[in-house]
Every structure is written in C-alpha cells, then in structure tokens.
Amino acid sequence: MNIPWWRDAVVYEIYVRSFADASGDGVGDLPGVRERLPYLRDLGVDAIWLTPFYPSPMADGGYDVADYRGVDPLFGTLADFEALVTDAHELGLRVLVDIVPNHSSSEHPWFQAALRGEGRDRYVFRDRPNNWQSTFGGPAWTQVEDGQYYLHLFAPGQPDFNWRNPEVHAEFLDVLRFWLDRGVDGFRIDVAMGLYKAEGLPDVGDQSFTTSSPVWGQPEVHGVYRDWRRLLDAYPGERMAVGEVWTDSPEDLARYVRPDELHQSFNFAWLEAPWSPTAFRKVIDDTLSTVPFATWVLSNHDVVRHRTRYETADPGTGLARARAALLTMLALPGSAYLYQGEELGLPEVTDLPAEARQDPVFFQSEGKLPGRDGCRVPIPWTVDPPSHGFSPGGVEPWLPQPATFAELSVDKQEGDSDSTLEFYRRALAIRRDLLRRIPYTVEWLDSPEGVLFFTRGPLICAINCGTHAVPLPGHDSVLLASGPVRRGMLPPDTAVWLERGSQPG
C-alpha cells in the first residue's frame, strides 16, 4: 500500500513574524526562515507550515489578506518565497502555506470596490445586522458610509466573503493554483468550517463552534473542499490540505476528511483535553474510530502554550507534563503538528505590558482578554539580549522577550542531553525509525489507575497521569522517557516508550 507522506508527517508550524528576522526590522521574515531550515531538518520534522506572509495591513497578524498572490515587504519577496521552497525541498522538507478563504482584509481591492458600491455581493452586506458577535469580541457587523453593514466574524478589518457567489469560488481555485505552481506541497485552511453562513442569517443564542450553529459548519462548505481536492489531485506529488476545523464532535470533524475532501483536519480535542487519563483515552478512541487520518496538536499560535496550560492547572508540573504529552502524541497513529518554540519548552509569556500587545483580541475585548501575543513572542536562538539572536545586531523584536528566554535558547539547549530540544530531536528520530515497523492502530493494555498503556506492534507507550509511581509494563528495552524512569518505575507526569519483541504487528 502506498502511504502518502502526510499520513504520519510531523509538521512544524512557523509563525513567520516570530521565527527569525533576517532583515533587521524586528519582525520575522521568509529569508529568516530560509536561514534556519537546517535547524528544522536537524530537529527531524517532515514539513513546515508557514502562517500568512501575504500583503496585509496586519489587522490580525496577516490573517487579513489584501493580496492572495503576493508577499508583504515586511516578510520579503516572491523570489524569497521561491528560494525558501527550493531550499526546503533540497533538505527534504515539505512546505504548506496558509489559505484564508473565510475573509479578506478590508484593504483587499474587492472590498475597496464594495465600499464604492461595486461587487458588494462578494461580501456579506445587509441593511440591518443580526445579533452575531465577532469571535474577537463586540458585534460582528460594521456600518459603512451609505448605512449598510458588513459581516466580519473576526476583526472589522476582516470582512467575510459571500461563498454563495461563484466568483469567490473561481478566485480561490485560482489562488490555490498560483501557489501550487510555485511548488507548495499543501495548504492549511484557515477557519475551514466557516465560509458559508445559514441562509437568512438567523439570530443565535450561543455562538460556540457547534454542529448545529447557523454561523459555522454549513453543509455547503463540503462542496468547496471537493472542488479543491480535485484540483490538488490533478497536481503531481501528493499535494494536500489540512483544515482548521473547530467543532464539538469527532463525527463532524470526520466529514471534512472524507476521501474526496480534505486530507486532514486539526484535532483540537487533543489540545483541549485536560491532564486526565480518561480524557486522553476518550479523545484517542473517538478520533481513531471516526477520523480516517488522524492529527494531533498541543499548541499553536492561537492558544496558551501547553506547558503553561498544564502549569496553570497544577503548578510545578508544566514542563514535565508538556514533555509527557508530546511523547504520547508522537506515539499515536497519524500526523503531529508542532508549534515553533515548543521544542524549547517555551512557556506562554503572560506578563506582556498592555502597550506591547498587538492582538486584536486584546483590543476588541477592551483588555478583558489578554489575547494571543503571549504564545507569539519571538524565538530565542542565542543567550544574548536584546533579541536572543532573533534579529541581527541590537534590534529589539516586535514583542519583548522575557529574561527567562536566555536559558531556553537554542544555543543553550543544543548538546545538553537533558534539554527539551535534545529530547524532541531524539523523539523525532526514534519515531521516524519506528514508523517503518508499527501498525496504524492502537491497542490498550491493562494499566493501574491514573495511567495509560498502549501498544503499536513492538512499541509500548505508557503515560502516568496519576500521583504515584507505577511499575512499567513488561518490555525488552526503554527507547525514550520524558523524565526520570529508574528501577522499572514510571513516576507521575512522565511518559515512556518501550520496546518488546520485534515482530511487526
């Protein structure tokens, strides 16, 4: 059987603004990513996902796209992008780019024309707003000069497209072609369960991501992905798409990954699960029994970093649990999405001063919500301030890094076998080797309370979510542990990979 590259791929999310700044303006850019590609090859990931680098007024960090076929000068040029793809491919790394089809920027020429009264049907204009709220806070409608209102499920600078207009379909197919022709291996689809809104735009009681919502997940959206799949399949080289789908049910998630739709969708249930063996086991079982191609995510540029989520829930446990959750996730069938900096054990930066904050969530909630800047603080490459090697010379980065980033920098961790960076490298190297030998299934073994044991052929993964050390299940060798495993005992907040026998399952 031909196993497509993406089925078990480890994909590394690069939040471009915060990864590496080559130009020296304090903001990450494509040449910065390009310079650091060898680091990613050495880390052992299979692919990178680049967050939006298109021309944008940055009302939402680039998720407000003014031109879907270009590169914002802040991030470089189209030639820089092409050079990046070439280098990545030479290093054996695939490249995914972000596609933002639910909304454009208010600076997009179509929206500018709509404001002049031309082609308003490409967006959602109404004489009267309904009661929908913006996901970032405040009403989802903004009034324009002639009295009409337009819909924006996110910032006012992000008007929602009207996908009931065929022109929008044609435009996005063309945008996909544009990037496919430049060699991208696939797309991450922003707000993939958005796009269509229920006919008549009825008022809602609750606007959360539920299967019955008139705001999200309308059945018509699947037609879009069928068209996109046909296009991707027409290109050589197993091009793929992964959807950002927030939903309350695994069955609904599975609808996006039918054989003629998207290849994958993010499994946020894993990220949302508390530190609990029952919760972990339920997510794993629900996912593997419903979704044909599973994905696993612990962190991304929209959520509090998982080290800090665990730390907040149970002080003193954050890093240990983050490492144990990673090892468990990498043992599961399917593909894993990592977020830049988690391999360094970066925590959320929770004490950014209000004047430094940039996320529209902070402003639209009038400061009630901190927003997502805390997980977007630039990566520390070296020990030295002011930018820890993120920018050249004495340039300050666009978000301030805390002093604690020095100890967590790449330079500091490289070569230190106890570091989280070296732990990630070992885990990814062992996983790559194991994948040749383990089946795409999970079998549960009996385990003590608070603990999970599962096997995939010769691999056994054990995670202790309880409060006492427990004996390891029977095994021949220890492959890797997320913390101290001694005298056959697995301590709390620790996971381990064991090997037994060696016949393929």
Residues taking part in catalysis = 190, 244
Q: Whose Cβ is closer to ligand NOJ: residue 122's or residue 301's? A: 301
Minimum distance of ligand NOJ from residue 128's CB (angstroms): 25
In the numeric block, the tokens 């732990």 are attached to: 423
Give the DSSP letter of residue 118: S
Q: Which two tokens stand for residue 11?
A: 């994909």
| Residue 299 and residue 271 in contact, taking contact as beta carbons nearer than 8 Å | yes
Minimum distance of ligand NOJ from residue 221's CB (angstroms): 15
Q: How many CA atoms lie within 13 A of 7 on its CB side?
A: 12
Cα angle 341, 343, 346; round to 5: 45
Binding mask 99-138 for ligand NOJ (x = CB under 6 A): -x--------------------------------------
C-alpha 247/C-alpha 498 separation (Å) is: 34
Strand boundaries in 361-446, DSSP class E: 443-445
Element (H, E) at 235: none
| Residue 178 and residue 71 in contact, taking contact as beta carbons nearer than 8 Å | no
Q: Is 181 exposed, middle or buried (0-12, 13-18, 19+ CB in 10 A)?
A: exposed
How many residues would you count in the chain? 505
Four-CA torsion 131, 134, 140, 144, nearest 10 degrees: 160
C-alpha 234/C-alpha 226 separation (Å) is: 13
| Residue 236 and residue 270 in contact, taking contact as beta carbons nearer than 8 Å | no
Minimum distance of ligand NOJ from residue 171's CB (angstroms): 17
Element (H, E) at 310: helix 306-313
Minimum distance of ligand NOJ from residue 124's CB (angstroms): 16
C-alpha 198/C-alpha 80 separation (Å) is: 41
Binding mask 149-168 for ligand NOJ (x = CB under 6 A): -----x--------------
Q: Whose Cβ is closer to ligand NOJ: residue 134's or residue 464's? A: 134
Minimum distance of ligand NOJ from residue 244's CB (angstroms): 6
Q: Which of 21, 72, 190, 493 binds ligand NOJ (CB under 6 A)?
A: 190
Termini Cα distance of the chain: 16
Q: Which of 13, 21, 60, 80 binds ligand NOJ (CB under 6 A)?
A: 60
Q: Which two tokens stand for residue 128?
A: 């009267």
Q: Under rule CB under 6 A, which residues in 298-327 are in contact with ligand NOJ? A: 301-302
Q: Which of 6, 12, 53, 63 binds ligand NOJ (CB under 6 A)?
A: 63
| Residue 187 and residue 97 in contact, taking contact as beta carbons nearer than 8 Å | yes
Q: Which of 27, 191, 245, 481 binds ligand NOJ (CB under 6 A)?
A: 191
Q: Whose Cβ is closer to ligand NOJ: residue 335's or residue 464's? A: 335
Q: Which two tokens stand for residue 491?
A: 């301590």
| Residue 57 and residue 64 in contact, taking contact as beta carbons nearer than 8 Å | yes
Minimum distance of ligand NOJ from residue 240's CB (angstroms): 18
* CA dihedral sign, ordered 255, 122, 152, 54: positive
Q: Whose Cβ is closer to ligand NOJ: residue 190's or residue 342's? A: 190
Minimum distance of ligand NOJ from residue 421's CB (angstroms): 25
Minimum distance of ligand NOJ from residue 194's CB (angstroms): 8
Chain residue at closest Cβ approach to ligand NOJ: 63
Binding mask 249-288 for ligand NOJ (x = CB under 6 A): ----------------------------------------
Binding site for ligand NOJ (CB under 6 A): 60, 63, 100, 154, 190-191, 244, 301-302
